[in-house]
Amino acid sequence: ETGVTQSPTHLIKTRGQQVTLRCSSQSGHNTVSWYQQALGQGPQFIFQYYREEENGRGNFPPRFSGLQFPNYSSELNVNALELDDSALYLCASSLELGTDTQYFGPGTRLTVL
Are 21 and 75 a contacting pair, CB within 8 Å?
A: yes
For the purposes of burial, counting CB atoms within 10 Å of the CB of 60, is it exposed (0-12), middle (13-18) or buried (19 or more)? middle
Q: Which stretch binds other proteins (CB under 8 A): 15-23, 65-73, 77-85, 97-105?
A: 97-105
d(CA 86, CA 23): 18
Q: Which stretch binds other proteins (CB under 8 A): 17-25, 33-41, 62-70, 77-85?
A: 33-41
Are 83 and 22 a contacting pair, CB within 8 Å?
A: no
Site for other proteins in 74-93 (CB under 8 A): 90
Query: Strand, coil or helix: what is 85?
Result: helix
d(CA 112, CA 16): 9
Q: Which stretch binds other proteins (CB under 8 A): 11-19, 21-29, 35-43, 60-68?
A: 35-43
Residue 28 beta carbon to other proteins: minimum distance, rounded to whole angstroms: 17
Residue 100 beta carbon to other proteins: minimum distance, rounded to whole angstroms: 5
Binding site for other proteins (CB under 8 A): 2, 33, 35, 40-45, 48, 55-56, 58, 90, 97-98, 100-107
